[in-house]
Amino acid sequence: MSSNQKFADIQADECVEKLHTAIPGLDLIAEGGLPQGRVTLLSGTAGSGKTVLAAQFLAAGIVHCDQPGVFITFEEPPKAIRKNMRGFGWTIAQWESEQKWAFVDVSPQPHQPPTVTGEYDMGPLLARIEYAIRSIKAKRVVLDSLGSIFNRIPDQALVREELFRLALALGELGVTTIVTAERAAEHGEVARFGVEEFVTDDVIILRNALEAEKRRRTVEILKFRGTSHQKGEYPFTILPDEGLIVIPLSAMELTQTSTDERITSGILELDDLCNGGFFQDSVILVSGPTGTGKTLLVTQFLDGGFKNDERCLLFAFEESRDQLNRNATGWGVDFDAMEEAGLLKIVCRYPESTGLEDHLIRMKEVMEAYKPNRVAVDSLSALERVSTEKGFREFVISLTSFIKAQKTAGLFTATTANLLGGTSVTEAHISTITDSIILLRYVEMFGEMRRGMTVLKMRGSMHVKDIREFRIDGSGAHIGKPLRNINGILSGNFSYMNQGELDRMSQLFSEPSAH
């Protein structure tokens, strides 16, 4: 063997190998999975999802990697764990019969006498764990949770010593282990005894923080000794039939291709303002106060797709299916016929029906299954009220990135808080990542409220910069002439100019003629 080959082998031995967990999103922020053959501490407050993640670690190993697992329970009896995890579709009893899952039951038994503190010998417990691992040739192990057993040991130094002994024993057995531990608060000490994080090589923290009366679940990899991982907190959710799903914002990449092909907005005059329509893979934001015609633009955007045999998808968070159908019919668009033709799918959900992360996961699933050419969301602002500001920003970024990665045209609506002028929180979060922005505004003209529209931004294309009059009638939307004699439409502070002043201002900014 050459010296170079020996050096390469030594380098390979020194690298920390990772075990693919098969938990959605977790392997991305862990950059490959959990360090193989080591003990990872999973810490969190009550209700943060520790037991679900730990059980899913074993379930995913059996389903996706054909790796048996051992669950050592110190709190809940196996019967309760089987029942609680059944809702995620994990057939633990069947896996036990197939020698893929084994319990080591150390949970308190009925009529058990009070715990006697003092000297504690983990020898018998380690022998039971080793037997279970060897009997089913387990590759994955879970201990849930440390607090229950170490509560029986009053001496902190002894806790540390026993934890070292446990980690060493599991390491020698060659299994990858998750050990759960409780913490008293979402921030502060990693675990209750203050020593757990120093004994284990790897630490993951789950949080279920209460912010502005809303819960927000996050996962953070605090340390992976000797190997890399993504830094910071990442949102996650727990769904029935699926389990824990991490939303890895850092894994998003700007690698999608682009196209010069255009699609119609459904309104010919708007296509002209946009120099021929929207780009086929662009995301468009329509922002304006209530009643200015945002849902009408969504309706015509979908109708334009339907007339070109494109598959259209509408996520509605403000109106029911019947309301949407009634409104569309009033503008001359037949949603029922579009659905019967298989070119439209309408998904109506009440924003408060679930958390924002759950909405995001479900929307992605619908898009992956339906594979639309166009997606409309009416409106993003309705989702603002069910999440924290940070959570909403993560939602918008994740949804927008997903739609762009699918090369699908997306049209979102956002409602401004003020009737005249102003911007929305949605607008602030999404404006830099959208390709086009269309603003709708009310215009007060001589005792009458009219509507105005402008294409504020269109990335990669020329567009008309006028503020045009925007009218709505029984046949839909119509875009009229520029509103040249009114200043301050976007800000809501109107002022009017006579024709003479308008001509003078036009000459000030006119291009000099070439001679």
Query: What are the residue boundaries of the structural domains of the chain, listed by start?
Result: 17-246, 262-507
Name the DSSP class of 418: S
Q: How many CA atoms lie within 13 A of 183 on its CB side?
A: 26
Phi-psi region of 371 (alpha: psi -120 to 50; beta: other; left: phi over 0): left
Please name which of 374, 366, 259 lies closest in space to residue 307, comparing C-alpha atoms. Answer: 374
| Token representation of residue 312 | 């259209």
The Cα-based distances of 355 to 59, 209, 211, 391 in angstroms read 25, 14, 13, 10
Q: CA-CA distance, 23 to 75, in Å (whole number)? A: 24
Question: What CATH code is assigned to 262-507?
Answer: 3.40.50.300
Q: Tokens 């520790």 belong to which residue? A: 50
- Fold of the 17-246 domain: Rossmann fold (3.40.50)
CB crowding 11-47: b at 16 or more within 10 Å, else e: eeeeebebbbbbbbbbbbbbebbbbebbbbbbbbbee
Name the DSSP class of 432: T
The pLDDT score that the predictor gives to residue 472 is 92
Please give the model's pTM, rounded to 2 decimal places: 0.78
Q: CA-CA distance, 294 to 192, in Å (whole number)? A: 52
pLDDT per residue rounded down to tens, the chain (515 residues): 555 555 555 555 567 899 999 999 999 999 999 999 999 999 998 889 999 999 999 999 999 999 999 999 988 899 999 999 999 999 999 999 999 999 999 887 766 655 555 556 677 888 999 999 999 999 999 999 877 776 666 676 777 777 788 888 888 999 999 999 888 788 877 776 666 666 788 999 999 988 777 788 999 999 998 899 988 899 999 998 899 999 887 556 656 667 788 999 999 999 999 999 999 889 999 999 988 999 999 999 999 999 999 999 999 998 999 999 999 999 999 999 999 999 999 999 998 888 888 999 999 999 999 999 999 999 888 888 788 888 888 888 888 888 988 889 999 999 887 777 666 555 566 777 788 999 999 888 777 888 999 999 898 888 998 999 999 988 899 999 888 877 777 777 777 766 666 676 666 666 555 44
Q: Do 17-246 and 262-507 have matching folds? A: yes
